[in-house]
Amino acid sequence: MKTLLLFLAGAIALAAAPALVGGPFVVNVTRNTATVVWIVESEELTLHPPAGAAARPFPSLRIEKTTLTGLQPNTRYDYDIPGRDGVKGWFKTAPAATQPYHFLVYGDTRTRHDVHRKVIEQILKNGIPDFVLQTGDMVENGFDSALWPIFFDIERDLLRQTAFFPALGNHERDCRNFFDFFQLTNSYYSFNWGNAHFSVLNSDLANSAPTQHERDAFWAEQTRWLEDDLQANQNAEFRFITAHHPLFTAVARRQEANPHMTALVPMLEKYHVTAAFFGHDHNYQHYLKNGIHYIGSGGGGAPLYDVDQPPPGITQKVVSVENFVTVAVDGKTIHIQAFDITGQKIDDVEIKH
């Protein structure tokens, strides 16, 4: 009888559990802490547009999260989500400065879900990274709560096996969802991993504030922060920058489009940045200027853009193709490789300090 009651109680609990529509994934990972997030759909609203247009569902999403403390560096931790049989994940904490690591860079996963799915399949075949830098534009409209479950469904097997560090894209539209899902208190932030320091910028100046005056103030504040952040981390072996908008581009109609980013180049040179990763342009681009590698990987699913006007003197490689980038760091050596969705290598760079 007792067994039956326990069984019934379990069945009722399972039946009542809201659907898991995102994650679990792991953010804000350091050597000793990490936050595991999963997203559930508690209810669904049906919108009835006027003039007989089709009704459309909008899910109500709820974020579940827990922060783990007291972890050991460079250690794999497995976890499971309570009350959800079979939902498991794992991640590795950040290593000490002497230990090797590898990470993934990709972005602009919005719009073409079938292509996004192929990119993720190829990433998984290629090997699970210790962590991911996502260059932004994850969904077409960050406010649309129906799009996020699609993104998380496609990303599920990757996100359950790594740590996730996203940059804000213009299609996120500075939306609250981005900050809530990825447990960010600010749109720009930095973190340490092994022997490197990573600064993640909010390059989406246009959506940062409603007035020009406020946008100028925001950019001045972030630029000051970046300078302080880079200056304070000169002892790291490497410094990496990630942002959504590029500093250079081979897309003719977009050249001169991001003067706020291009204006950062002297600062990145002054503080010996090793490489900058960006997205926004849906292709692969690699530039080398005054010792800094600028790598654009916006080929995660959004419609491809031509690379019709490579900037002279600095262009290493530009290809209009879906892609992702892997970066392996071992001591003073960095190995950067870019792949298309068939697994074909499209770029291969070794940087030695």
Residues in contact with Fe ion by CB under 5 A are: 137, 169-170, 280
Residue nearer to Fe ion on the CB measure, 149 or 279:
279
Closest distance to Fe ion from the beta carbon of 229 (Å): 23
CB 336, CB 347: distance < 8 Å: yes
Closest distance to Fe ion from the beta carbon of 92 (Å): 30
Residue nearer to Fe ion on the CB measure, 93 or 249:
249
Residue nearer to Fe ion on the CB measure, 161 or 285:
285
Residue nearer to Fe ion on the CB measure, 168 or 341:
168
Closest distance to Fe ion from the beta carbon of 7 (Å): 51
Closest distance to Fe ion from the beta carbon of 40 (Å): 28
CB 275, CB 301: distance < 8 Å: no
3-state class (DSSP) for residue 146? coil
Beta bridge partners of 62: 40
Closest distance to Fe ion from the beta carbon of 215 (Å): 17
CB 141, CB 174: distance < 8 Å: no
Q: End-to-end CA distance of the chain, in Å?
A: 70
3-state class (DSSP) for residue 79? strand
Going by C-alpha positions, the residue among 99, 91, 108 that lies closest to residue 27 is: 91
CA dist 153 to 4, 253, 272, 283, 323, Å? 35, 33, 38, 23, 20
Going by C-alpha positions, the residue among 251, 261, 200, 208 that lies closest to residue 230 is: 200
Dihedral of alpha carbons 94, 96, 99, 103, sign: positive
Residue nearer to Fe ion on the CB measure, 23 or 169:
169
Tokens of 313: 């003197």
Residue nearer to Fe ion on the CB measure, 21 or 325:
325
Residue nearer to Fe ion on the CB measure, 171 or 239:
171
3-state class (DSSP) for residue 176? helix
Residue nearer to Fe ion on the CB measure, 145 or 249:
249
Closest distance to Fe ion from the beta carbon of 332 (Å): 34
Closest distance to Fe ion from the beta carbon of 168 (Å): 10
Token pair 């909010």 is found at 202
User: Which residues fall within 8 angstroms of residue 235, CB to CB, at 6 or more apart?
Assistant: none
Amino acid occupying residue 340: D
Closest distance to Fe ion from the beta carbon of 278 (Å): 10
Buried b (16+ CB within 10 A) or exposed e, 45-76: eeeeeeeeeeeeeebebeebeeebeebeebee
The Cα–Cα gap between 214 and 211 comes to 5
**CB atoms near residue 124 (< 10 Å):** 12
